[in-house]
A and B are shown apart, each in its own frame.
Chain A
Amino acid sequence: MAELRTVPDGPAAAPVVVPGGDRDSRFARRMIIAGASILSVVALVAVFAPLLSQWGETEIDAANTLVAPGGSHLLGTDGNGMDIWSRVLYAARLDLGIALAAVALAVVVGTLLGLVAGYFGGWLDDVLMRVVDIFQSFPTFILALAVAALLGNGTINLIITIAAVNAPAYARLVRAEVRSLRELPFVDAAITSGASPVGVLWRHLLPNSLTPVRVIAPLNCGWAMLTLAGLSFLGLGVSIPEAEWGAMISLGAADVVGGRWWTSVPPGLALFVCVLGFSLLGEGLQDRANAKRR
């Protein structure tokens, strides 16, 4: 690894090279690029799904149910005669859309709660954090099930459910960040410059407390997508004719047992690739943030 150049002046003049210094950040950059590329492809597929498939999202080819891949159905059809390839592509819209919307909602709500709790402290902090404790003390999926069952089906309700499960983490993260930022001189500087509490929160604490949020949010999108798929798999998510990967896996589960793998494997793979994209992006951002801190 050491690059040793020979210099005419003899051994003492040859530079001693200490390797390293940039490996971590280079690796992080590759992860970010890989994750972003995967997600861009998924996003493009979601947008151009009608151009990439010859069947509609819920179009039924009644004559051909459960046909194997090949021919006019690239990845075969399911038990209702719907084209798997088309549905996998169309499902990207719903999966990506719900996951992003849910995480965005969780970030907004969680950040606001964390800001207020962290800055004002006292009884407000106690009350908010105990509520967060209650949310976090349930296993994530059980909580999601409970909320989903309570709210009922529908895209909006799904977004709320998944956001409710994820918001407490942001509240905690931002609260911790605000509590340490609050002790820094720039906050004192803002107060002595006559900034109002809202001004201090909005102009000074908010922009500075978002660093960890930026890192966690992409990872969180991956988890949100898995939660969505899980809920759909259990029948609490997207209703059947609409294309969603979890629901498709669920629908095809019985056929897989009968040897017809193409009903469930393609949506499963799509889900896998998408979550991988989010994970790579998130991990990469995290590593880069850590490298910067050093």
Chain B
Amino acid sequence: MFQSDGRNTWEIIQQATGGDTRAFRMLVVTHQTFAFRVAFRMIADEQDAEDIVQEVFIKLWSNLKKYRPENRFTTWLYRMVVNQCLDFMKSRKVQQRSRNKNLDEMINHPTTISPDEELQNRELMKIVHQAAASLPPQQHAVFVLRDLEALSVDEVCEILSMSSGAVKSNLYHARKTLSERLKSVYQIPDNKSYEV
């Protein structure tokens, strides 16, 4: 099966590099959900995340020859998705203000969320992503990779081409900002449902 990193993925990439679109389709099917998840956590918008995934895979198709098997394919893909997202974020600075306004409305005008745990978590995720979108791009990328994707500091350093010190510094500022910004969301009694 061609499901994860390793020899099989390398074989598929070799086939796709030779122009085999069926092999490339297999790569897309296997990794598009992963790419979408990262993009969505960076952008906090489904449509934009899908567009980014599409652009990333088109770039991947034309850059497959550059892939080296000594690197993990997912690390390479992470880097492509994150860079694409950072480029996108630079181009939508104006829209950012309206997103911040939406987040303030979500936090300051409470509506009780369904007691269903899955729905609660989905709403929480939405709030966290919206809040994270207000961070500076580098802090945002470090926060998503380390705290939401749960990658190691070394992996984050490799993906973002940053030193360990820079990753930790960005992480400190991101966590501090978000924990202060979302205090009204997470500081609630255990026996009550979330109010956001």
Co-complex (A, B):
no
The interface of chain B, by Cβ under 8 A from chain A, is none
The interface of chain A, by Cβ under 8 A from chain B, is none
